[in-house]
Amino acid sequence: MNESSPHYRIVCIGSGPAAWTSALYTARASLQPVVIEGEPTREMIPGGQLMWTTEIENFPGFPEPIGGQELMDRMREQAVHHGAKVINEAVEEVDFSLRPFRLRLSWSGWIEADAVIIATGARANWIGLPSEERLARTGGGVSACAVCDGALPFFRDKVLAVVGGGDSAMEEATYLTKFASEVVLIHRRDSFRASRVMVDRALSNPGLRVEWNSRVVDVLGDDFINGLVLEDTVTGEHRTMEVGGLFVAIGHTPNTSFLGDQLQLSPKGYIMTPTPWRTVTSVDGVFAAGDVMDDYFRQAITAAGTGCMAALEAERWLAHEGAAGARPPVLETAESSVGKPE
């Protein structure tokens, strides 16, 4: 142990629903958690993807829509109220080879922790257009989550465009037909990479049509989207299409690059949790919650739920293991003692 490094019982990395829920639960368990909130970048800001969401209607407990920033502020305040400490830095590097674990922060150096909860989320993959980014940030009708936003009054009875060709794009386009006057699925090739069953379901929907061999090269509108400029990927010709909303469904990238090879990750970079319905990772004493380990649901409420799970597992693990000293952590298996009665 490095005597000069600050030492904490538990550290939560992240600042979205999973992180604040895990901080709340561990704080109420008197574990004095420290939340490494992160720093703003071009792609992400503390608070995660919900900071770009203007209205949330599907988070339990709020009969009226609540803004994403307000929801994150309230979650943060609740965790701090119960004793969580917040550090406004990012984690640049981790060392999980020995206990206590070590984490290098962006400018204040190394800290140590007996247990770690990773809740750094995932960022939506965008097309990369300045107009797209501007309208997404300001609530101007550009979104990366149809399930989150598609039912909002803003999008109802309008022509909505979905960009993508995988299962997520098929699912989001089909879902939006419940609310839109028409859904236009825009794909840069002449065939989809999605599974056959998902493609058949989408193409058989009378409220959906496809723009093949097309890509979006500009999003039109000042305060709110009103159209798209499409480029034909075969001929290079440009054309304009009027739409009242754009949903980008070209995947997500989990925020796990800072982990290096310290944890087992999926081929897509998500943290693996070897035991089903658990949050323990491949390193005993390190837990994962939220979109950083969930490439399927990706909802605020499911992230919060796994944040609760990770906090409870970490609390029980600490009760069994304590500060285990400088010995290598063991790989998590189905026979782990975490959560079993003493």
Calculate the dihedral angle through the C-alpha atoms of 206, 188, 190, 162, rounding to the nearest 10 degrees: -10
Burial 58-71 (b: 16+ CB within 10 A, else e): ebeeeeeebebeeb
Strand 252-254, strand 122-124: pairing: antiparallel
pLDDT value of position 321: 82
pLDDT value of position 298: 87
Question: Nearest CA to 34 among 5, 68, 1?
Answer: 5
pLDDT value of position 43: 64
Question: Nearest CA to 180 among 241, 250, 245, 226?
Answer: 245
CATH entry, 7-123+252-321, from 3.50.50.60, 3.40.50.300, 3.40.50.1370, 3.40.50.1110:
3.50.50.60
pLDDT value of position 51: 83
Burial 13-26 (b: 16+ CB within 10 A, else e): bbbbbbbbbbbbbb
Q: Kindly list the catalytic residues.
A: 145, 148-149
Range list for CATH 3.50.50.60 in the chain? 7-123+252-321, 126-248
Q: Are 35 and 87 in contact (CB under 8 A)?
A: yes
CA dist., res. 53 & res. 48, Å (int): 10
* Superfamily of the domain at 126-248: FAD/NAD(P)-binding domain (3.50.50.60)
As given in the structure block, the two tokens for residue 46 are 């503390």
Strand 85-87, strand 245-248: pairing: unpaired
Per-residue pLDDT of the chain (342 residues; tens, 9 = 90+): 455 789 999 999 999 999 999 999 999 999 999 999 998 776 677 888 888 777 888 899 999 989 888 999 999 999 999 999 999 999 999 999 999 999 999 999 999 999 999 999 999 899 999 999 999 988 899 999 898 899 999 999 999 999 999 988 998 999 999 999 999 999 999 999 999 999 999 999 999 999 999 999 999 999 999 999 999 999 999 999 999 999 999 989 999 999 999 999 999 999 999 999 999 999 999 999 999 999 988 899 999 999 999 999 999 999 988 654 444 344 443 333 333 333
CA dist., res. 13 & res. 177, Å (int): 37
Given the structure tokens 């109420």, which residue do they identify? 28
pLDDT value of position 1: 47
Neighbours of 222 (CB within 10 A): 10
pLDDT value of position 104: 97
pLDDT value of position 217: 98
pLDDT value of position 246: 98
